[in-house]
Structure 1
Amino acid sequence: MTQFLSRRTILFILSLLSLVSGLVAAQDNNESTALLRYADIHKNQVTFVYAGDIYLADINSGDARRLTSDIGFEAFPKFSRDGKRIAFSAEYTGTRQVYVMDIDGSNLKQLTWYNDVGPMPPRGGYDYRILDWSADNKNVLVRANRLPWGERMGQPYWVPVDGGMEQALAVPETGGGMLSPDGTKYVYTPIDREFRTWKRYQGGRAQNVWIYDLQNNTSQQITSHRATDHQPVWVGEDIYFISDRDYRLNLYKYNADGEPTKVTNHDRYDSLWASAGPEAIVYENGGHLWRFDPATKETKQLNIRITTNQENLMAQFKNVSDYIESGDISPDGQRVVLGVRGELFSVPAENGEIRNLSNTPNAREISANWSPNGRFVAYLSDQSGEYEVYIYDIKNKQHKRITEDGHIWRFNPVWSPDSQKLAFSDKNHVLWSVSIDGGKPQKLDQSSTNDIEHYRWSPDSRWLTYSKTENTGFSSIYVYDMNNKKAHKLSTAAYHDYEPVFDDSGQYLLFLSNRDYNLAFSAYEFNYLYVDATRVYAAQLTESTPPLYPYQSDEVQLDKKQDKDQDKNKDKNKDKNKDKNKDKNKDKDNSKKVKVNIDFTGINQRISVLPAAAGNYNGLQTAGDQVFVLKGEDRSQNLLLMSLKKDDKPKNVSKGVNNYRLAAQGEKILVRQGQNLSIIDAKAEQDNNGKKLDLTNLTLKIDPQTEWQQMYTDAWRILRDWFYDPNMHGMDWRAIKDKYQPMVDAATHRSDLDYILGEIAGEMNSGHIYVNSGDMPKVKRQENALLGAEFVKDDSGYFKITHIFAGENWNKDRLSPLTEAGVKAETGDYVLAINGHSTKNVANIYELLEHQANRTVTLTLNNKATQKDSWQAHVKTITSEGQLRYLNWVNERRAMVDKLSNGRIGYVHLPNTAIEGNRELFKQMLPQIGKDALIIDDRYNGGGFIPDRMIELLSRKTLNYWKRRNLDVNSMATPLIAHDGPKVMLTNGLSSSGGDALPYYFRKMNLGKIIGTRTWGGLIGISGNPGLADGGSVIASTFRFMDTEGNWAVENEGVAPDIEVIDRPELIAKGQDPTLERGVEELLKELKTNPRSTIQSPPEPTEF
């Protein structure tokens, strides 16, 4: 039962940290401490992040001392130009904000209060990234994520050190960057990719280095390589940057008159996070800090030693009830076995202690299943170095390894009813059976299309039934005969049949099947989809098997003597019924004597449907003559009960069930509802009758380093077994693991593991390989409030509203607080006070909105800077202005297109190809369907689904028109929503994933020109894989895009435009949009030669 409680797989590992005199050196005193990150340098000092805190070290002595100490993660320390202060970002107050302190750690001061975007996955990096200081040390240059297109894109802002509002630079978008020594120019990359786990990337998002002249508002692109050029820095008059144009990321010097000069030559690890001081550059390589001296051209590893108590590595007891990944219930329902953070636990239904059954500090146990006789627990463990099948003997408290040949990830061992055999499958799509008494596993079947994940035994343990995906995409049901060693296919090719299970009598095979074609019609057009396709079916296994729900008729009994005889037997029958449940084990023994026969001829004509309406079903199980099944969506399912004897409607067992497990004796059920586990009776109406498991004492002493070692191996295995290419893009995968192992050994913070996992994943040179954080030290998040407006400090001392973002106040995601009904506020008004606190008393208005998110605040407003005639507005605050900024940007583009084309051209922006993007396409296209031409803006499209449905809508053509009396003949056409006019699509390097596929399909369908720059180039997709022990994960890309001729396409290249237009930053800063303007220009040209056609009604017919 591998997916009982969560699709994440979980781990726990124990180890003990040795303490010497209360202190532990991070490495041997003669060695440099590893994993010092995000460093900056000033003369003979470096500051960096280690284990989530900021340190300062002397380069000459190597001695370091900690400047910050907090449970949150401090990031990007930067020296002021005079070397007296350090700016950094931290989470002290519940959100990430900008702080400054003296270099000895004193005089800490908070500079920002605008709500950050919140924790992002590692590939997103951090909001409030410190970039540099102004030449006069009065401002910190910060990258803040306040752009319209998503939480990971940022713009540079000045943050005054003495207090004040952040002020955006003219530069519209930035990755890493640095100011020139005199502060008049900014060298940077417009795109941010530094946190991405994709090495040797050459798609449309490959970074190039630009210089922006802040005084003259001009820009210059200074590199144009297909490889990555990023993290530019300025040392004196010279510019350096990191590039992988020679395979590994190394440091290069920019030459205005020729090719850049490579100044470092690291060939084993990539160089990361270059940062410059007045005399030198510091960067990371191979887990250590290095210094490059431009004057001497010398590169040297810094020998910095940290001695600390390593509190992040201390073994700690934690309640791990949030990390349950699998579970099963004992046959009698008295105990539950849980797979929790890599250990197996036996938990009592009500009374008794919680027992750790495995106690394997260096291994991970998953997929726990209790044997039908109650004697054993089967599970998977990687104790041997690969996942093998094991059993635990409850009676003798002994573990036994069953398989010896592990080399690939395995799934879910399932017991035979006689408790003698186990079926399991693996990532090579093979189905296996193995005896617990020894012997090699027997290969039963193999799929060429997908994993085999659902398999169940017959009551006599002879047959194994399972579902297997066919080339059509439909799933078919098979049964394997263990006696004759032969697989039989039961399904036809016509239907999607899955989740087969035998009933306890061995007479029926129940399964789920999609055989209903129920149309659900669109509210906007004549269109439909097929919903609620699934029902529960039962196949009679032989011709002699009685049909389900045979015909019954109540008739008058005419033989009175027979009636009396039957009455005499009633008392005898009552006595027999009393004894039925006395010996459950005896009943089980009897049930094992069931002999299952299958007559394959004509079996598809012996299928009956159970009395449950078509719907969305899963989790089919049986007990006696009872059938249990879940109905509904994943997070809101009802557990239903049906009978094989009575043709009654399904009865509710329990509501809000995520998943459940039926005890082997059929009388108890383990259910999960949200975070709660309960044991209920296997009967109807159990919503308030269950016994909630007490997991208060489900605690483990977790040694982080030991756990990280196992997770590192698991991540390596997951990438090995799930990546679409078994050759791993030519990588020696074992060598890659060994290469980064020393970094794992040196890890002291959970973020270190994320970084290392990103490094090994990046070696595969593939898109969509991601890392997600697990059990990270966290600060309790306390959101700051936003008002959907922009403000400036007026000379009066009050704050003036300079812009109010228009919202869609009927849409909860786009509420604009100052525009809601009953709120009187306009651009130009003054905010005199918030909750009675005068805004004159603060330099930054957001300081008064700290921790006020999603609350009603009282604003004192006036249209002049005085209290006289002021009024109060009660405003419900929000936590993010992202959607409002996005809506504002889209409306500005649409207005621009409307003006440039005199209303002839429509504009549609697609933020992604997921639910939101599909919704926006339909929502924006409908009111513009009558426009002569359309611009489809794919820029900043974050991807999501494969966009074939979207391109189908865009490619529709009118099939015919309909004449109605006194009405315009063009007003009624089939299909109703179709646009026959010319179109163009706009793209850039942020058109990603589904945003790559969309322009590819656009070109494939000959819908128009593509204008802009190359797209991201990420079309090796993801379909899910197991997680890691502590809730984190690595995501392996599992399928790769090919064209219809069988060639690789798009991946690591992108979709090239027909017309290249580069959006120069100085033009964007002026409010222009070069790519959009070119799109309008091209469509107006096309409309002159190829106008959108309309028709006139023919003459009225006079005769037929």
Structure 2
Amino acid sequence: MADIAAYFRGQDRLHAHWSAVLGDDLLTVPYESLVDDPETWMRRIIAHAGLEWEDGVRDFHKTERAVTTASFAQVRKPMYASSKEAWKRYRGGQATPIWIAQMSDSKVKPVPRADENLSNPMWVNNAVFYLSDKNGIPGLFRYGVNDGSVTECVKGEGFDMKSANAGPGAIVVEKLGSIWLYDLNKKTFTNVPIDVKGDFPEVRPAFKDLRPYMEDLSISPSGQRIAVAARGFVMTVPASKGDAHILGEEQGVHRRSVAWSPDGKTVAFITDAEGKQQLSLFDPNTNKERHVELGESPSQYTLEGWSPDSKMIAYTDVRNILWIVDVASGKNTRIDQAIYTDPQLAMAPKWSPDSKWIAYGRDLKSHLQSIFLYSLESGKSTEITDGLANAKSPIFDRDGKHLYFFASTNTGQGTSWLDLSSFNAPLSTSNVYAVVLRKDLPNPLQPQSDEEPTAPATPPQRPGTPPTPPKFGIDLDGIESRIITLPMASASYVGLEPGPAGTFFAIAQGPRATAVSPSGPSTVSKFSLA
């Protein structure tokens, strides 16, 4: 009961606060008034929201649409008033009386009542004032000790009187988080205007430890510095020597989603400096910043990564659309759009080594994800998996020959994160697969045999000669037949990351007891084709 009382008291105070802040912009709808005169209040609510009236608002119970919620019986009948103030009319054995005790002979007598609740007794001269819900809503009453008379001083109307206390010449009453005075001589009931000036220490300038607030990290190409976003600021931090450098010190700007370009010249992040989210391209050497409009603005955006040639950036928005933006021209190109909004699903786009392809995962109508390849030259996306497994996290090998991803064939109901049926599949596992990108490349797992070469050996390169970049290309024709299962244990994989050429790292979470239980320790495995 104490918790319930504290909750309602807090609600009253919260309503009083927003009433003072918003004034006429806040419409308070008393439940009793709504059920007594539904259409009048419905029209008032619709008008307050700036909407046009429709008869369907009043006749909601006549709808023919399917209703599958627990309240299906209630929405099939008009608004009713049978529950009006039922919670206030408690008249059971625990309804509270008020007693007057005679100290000389220890006799007691009750203040006259039927079965209503009396509270907050106050002795004023030869009378006892108190709160009573005799007429439903608690009001202020007076009991004459000498003549036994009961008088209603202030009628209970609107919101409840919560508490009362007597003072010199007046009784102070709390009502809806506000203070009222009942003048004992004038018999008037007036509101006390109170204006509290808060100190608001949370908005004062102060030094903050940013470690708990770091949102994004991006390592520079050399690994000597890290770009970090924290509390709306972006800064670069040294790995060992030097100081942190803030990239733009303007206050009141939210900066996040950091990505350092592969050529090391630009730190990209999302900023709302101009009132909407844009791409910021910041040169850490000159401290020059340029803003670029993003696709279908305004929206909320997340940077997914630079192309290896530092000319383009892939990003996603809150509408589940995958985009790329040309850094030089600012041109945005829409790649694809996911079907469902699901925090467990991510497109996770990855650039090919030649910056001409993007591999990403996208959900299907079945809620399973499939792997797609997008060609910047043709402007087309191609699905390379069959859609019968839940495929995620595609990455390109740095050798330019292979693409890796993991896929689960036992996800089942676990794909529907918002459905309680996902509790039935807390331990779905995946296997890791490799895609041979070109027709002329061999299966990397085919048996090998050391034989005596018959052709002359290739002469070694001269010292100082830069290594020849690996040839890159993708043959889409027949690519599904070049998907092979890698010899790795089935596990609850959550991500893949490329390593040196011919290797990658796989991250797997530990087992869980239920779909919402914390997992056991995560593991990181390295796989090598060598």
Name the TM tier (shorter chain): 0.5 to 0.7
Measured after TM superposition, the shift of residue 434 of structure 1 is 0.9
Q: Residues 450 and 469 of structure 1 are in contact (CA less than 8 Å); yes or no, is this contact kept in structure 2?
A: no
Measured after TM superposition, the shift of residue 542 of structure 1 is 3.0
Partner of 2:388: 494
Instruction: Summarize deviations over 1:78-136 as a string: whole Å, max 9, x none.
Output: xxxxxxxxxxxxxxxxxxxxxxxxxxxxxxxxxxxxxxxxxxxxxxxxxxxxxxxxxxx
Partner of 1:637: 522
Q: RMSD of the TM alignment (CA)? A: 4.4
1:554 alignment partner AA: D
Measured after TM superposition, the shift of residue 483 of structure 1 is 1.9
Measured after TM superposition, the shift of residue 240 of structure 1 is 7.4
Q: Residues 501 and 509 of structure 1 are in contact (CA less than 8 Å); yes or no, is this contact kept in structure 2?
A: yes
Instruction: Summarize deviations over 1:439-479 as a string: whole Å, max 9, x none.
Output: 34222212221365411112222222211122212111122
Q: In structure 2, which of residues 312, 328, 343 is the aligned counterpart of residue 437 of structure 1?
A: 328
1:641 alignment partner AA: K
Structure 1 residue 419 corresponds to structure 2 residue 314: no
Partner of 1:547: 443
Measured after TM superposition, the shift of residue 489 of structure 1 is 1.8
Secondary structure of the structure 1 residue equivalent to 2:212? helix
Measured after TM superposition, the shift of residue 238 of structure 1 is 3.1
Q: d(CA) in 2 for partners of 1:399 and 1:284?
A: 51
Q: d(CA) in 2 for partners of 1:357 and 1:468?
A: 34
- Using structure 1 for the length normalisation, give the TM-score: 0.32
Q: In structure 2, which of residues 447, 461, 484 is the aligned counterpart of residue 608 of structure 1?
A: 484
Structure 1 residue 208 corresponds to structure 2 residue 87: yes
Secondary structure of the structure 2 residue equivalent to 1:176? helix
Instruction: Summarize deviations over 1:380-432 as a string: whole Å, max 9, x none.
Output: 11212222221211332212112266322212242111111111111111111
Secondary structure of the structure 2 residue equivalent to 1:619? strand
Q: In structure 1, which of residues 619, 622, 642 is the aligned counterpart of residue 495 of structure 2?
A: 619
1:506 alignment partner AA: G
Structure 1 residue 350 corresponds to structure 2 residue 246: no
Aligned length: 400
| Closer, same or farther: CA 430–282 of 1 in aligned 2, 3 Å | same
Partner of 2:24: none
Q: In structure 1, which of residues 295, 302, 309 is the aligned counterpart of residue 194 of structure 2?
A: 302
Q: d(CA) in 2 for partners of 1:350 and 1:630?
A: 27
Instruction: Summarize deviations over 1:673-717 as a string: whole Å, max 9, x none.
Output: xxxxxxxxxxxxxxxxxxxxxxxxxxxxxxxxxxxxxxxxxxxxx
Partner of 1:281: 173
1:535 alignment partner AA: N
1:553 alignment partner AA: S
Q: Residues 421 and 433 of structure 1 are in contact (CA less than 8 Å); yes or no, is this contact kept in structure 2?
A: yes
Q: d(CA) in 1 for partners of 2:161 and 2:306?
A: 52
Q: d(CA) in 1 for partners of 2:431 and 2:275?
A: 42
Measured after TM superposition, the shift of residue 346 of structure 1 is 1.0
Q: Residues 390 and 411 of structure 2 are in contact (CA less than 8 Å); yes or no, is this contact kept in structure 1?
A: no
Measured after TM superposition, the shift of residue 543 of structure 1 is 2.3
Q: d(CA) in 1 for partners of 2:234 and 2:359?
A: 28
Q: Residues 351 and 359 of structure 2 are in contact (CA less than 8 Å); yes or no, is this contact kept in structure 1?
A: yes
| Closer, same or farther: CA 200–550 of 1 in aligned 2, 3 Å | farther
Q: Residues 499 and 619 of structure 1 are in contact (CA less than 8 Å); yes or no, is this contact kept in structure 2?
A: yes
2:491 alignment partner AA: G
Q: d(CA) in 1 for partners of 2:175 and 2:329?
A: 55
Measured after TM superposition, the shift of residue 329 of structure 1 is 0.9
Partner of 2:224: 334
Partner of 1:406: 297
Q: d(CA) in 1 for partners of 2:330 and 2:197?
A: 54
Aligned residue runs from structure 1 range 23-34, under 5 A: none
Q: Residues 234 and 240 of structure 1 are in contact (CA less than 8 Å); yes or no, is this contact kept in structure 2?
A: no
Partner of 1:700: none
Measured after TM superposition, the shift of residue 196 of structure 1 is 9.7
Secondary structure of the structure 1 residue equivalent to 2:208? strand
1:491 alignment partner AA: T
Structure 1 residue 176 corresponds to structure 2 residue 66: no
Secondary structure of the structure 2 residue equivalent to 1:491? coil
2:4 alignment partner AA: G
Q: Residues 161 and 173 of structure 2 are in contact (CA less than 8 Å); yes or no, is this contact kept in structure 1?
A: no
Q: Residues 389 and 407 of structure 2 are in contact (CA less than 8 Å); yes or no, is this contact kept in structure 1?
A: yes
Q: d(CA) in 2 for partners of 1:222 and 1:423?
A: 69
Aligned residue runs from structure 1 range 731-880, under 5 A: none
Secondary structure of the structure 2 residue equivalent to 1:391? strand
Secondary structure of the structure 2 residue equivalent to 1:604? helix
| Closer, same or farther: CA 194–595 of 1 in aligned 2, 3 Å | farther
Secondary structure of the structure 1 residue equivalent to 2:450? coil
Measured after TM superposition, the shift of residue 505 of structure 1 is 3.5
| Closer, same or farther: CA 629–275 of 1 in aligned 2, 3 Å | farther
| Closer, same or farther: CA 579–474 of 1 in aligned 2, 3 Å | same
Aligned residue runs from structure 1 range 190-201, under 5 A: none
Structure 1 residue 386 corresponds to structure 2 residue 265: no
Q: Residues 535 and 615 of structure 1 are in contact (CA less than 8 Å); yes or no, is this contact kept in structure 2?
A: yes
1:637 alignment partner AA: S
Q: Residues 450 and 468 of structure 1 are in contact (CA less than 8 Å); yes or no, is this contact kept in structure 2?
A: no
| Closer, same or farther: CA 500–201 of 1 in aligned 2, 3 Å | farther
Partner of 1:246: none
1:550 alignment partner AA: Q
Secondary structure of the structure 2 residue equivalent to 1:322? helix
Partner of 2:352: 458
Q: Residues 303 and 313 of structure 2 are in contact (CA less than 8 Å); yes or no, is this contact kept in structure 1?
A: no
2:407 alignment partner AA: S
Partner of 1:998: none
- Using structure 2 for the length normalisation, give the TM-score: 0.64
Q: In structure 1, which of residues 512, 522, 534 is the aligned counterpart of residue 430 of structure 2?
A: 534
| Closer, same or farther: CA 275–428 of 1 in aligned 2, 3 Å | farther
Instruction: Summarize deviations over 1:709-747 as a string: whole Å, max 9, x none.
Output: xxxxxxxxxxxxxxxxxxxxxxxxxxxxxxxxxxxxxxx
Structure 1 residue 361 corresponds to structure 2 residue 251: yes
Instruction: Summarize deviations over 1:214-246 as a string: whole Å, max 9, x none.
Output: 689xxx9989xxxxxxxx9888433479x9xxx
Q: Residues 208 and 222 of structure 1 are in contact (CA less than 8 Å); yes or no, is this contact kept in structure 2?
A: no
Q: Residues 343 and 364 of structure 1 are in contact (CA less than 8 Å); yes or no, is this contact kept in structure 2?
A: yes
Q: What percentage of aligned pairs have identical amino acids?
A: 21
| Closer, same or farther: CA 558–303 of 1 in aligned 2, 3 Å | closer
Q: Which has the larger radius of gyration?
A: 2
Aligned residue runs from structure 1 range 646-657, under 5 A: 646=530
Secondary structure of the structure 1 residue equivalent to 2:4? coil
Q: d(CA) in 2 for partners of 1:466 and 1:413?
A: 11
Measured after TM superposition, the shift of residue 207 of structure 1 is 9.6
Instruction: Summarize deviations over 1:486-538 as a string: whole Å, max 9, x none.
Output: 222222221001111222243322111113689xxxxxxxxx96845212211
1:598 alignment partner AA: D
Partner of 2:130: 237
| Closer, same or farther: CA 615–234 of 1 in aligned 2, 3 Å | farther
Q: Residues 131 and 138 of structure 2 are in contact (CA less than 8 Å); yes or no, is this contact kept in structure 1?
A: no
| Closer, same or farther: CA 440–298 of 1 in aligned 2, 3 Å | farther
Q: d(CA) in 2 for partners of 1:283 and 1:394?
A: 58
Partner of 1:376: 266
Measured after TM superposition, the shift of residue 272 of structure 1 is 11
Q: d(CA) in 2 for partners of 1:476 and 1:349?
A: 38
Measured after TM superposition, the shift of residue 284 of structure 1 is 6.3
| Closer, same or farther: CA 387–213 of 1 in aligned 2, 3 Å | same
Q: In structure 2, which of residues 405, 409, 414 is the aligned counterpart of residue 511 of structure 1?
A: 405
Partner of 1:61: none
Q: Which runs of 5+ in 1 are unaligned?
A: 1-154, 157-173, 178-187, 224-231, 244-250, 265-270, 519-527, 581-585, 647-1104
Q: d(CA) in 2 for partners of 1:362 and 1:324?
A: 17
Partner of 1:397: 287
Instruction: Summarize deviations over 1:618-674 as a string: whole Å, max 9, x none.
Output: 22121322211212246732222111x32xxxxxxxxxxxxxxxxxxxxxxxxxxxx
Q: Which runs of 5+ in 2 are unaligned?
A: 16-27, 32-69, 72-82, 99-113, 123-128, 142-153, 413-423, 511-518
Q: d(CA) in 2 for partners of 1:544 and 1:431?
A: 31
| Closer, same or farther: CA 642–194 of 1 in aligned 2, 3 Å | farther
The structure showing larger relative contact order (alpha-carbon pairs under 8 Å, at least 6 residues apart) is 1
Q: d(CA) in 2 for partners of 1:314 and 1:344?
A: 21
2:352 alignment partner AA: S
Q: d(CA) in 1 for partners of 2:495 and 2:173?
A: 59
Q: Residues 507 and 545 of structure 1 are in contact (CA less than 8 Å); yes or no, is this contact kept in structure 2?
A: yes
Q: d(CA) in 1 for partners of 2:395 and 2:388?
A: 20
Q: Residues 431 and 491 of structure 2 are in contact (CA less than 8 Å); yes or no, is this contact kept in structure 1?
A: yes
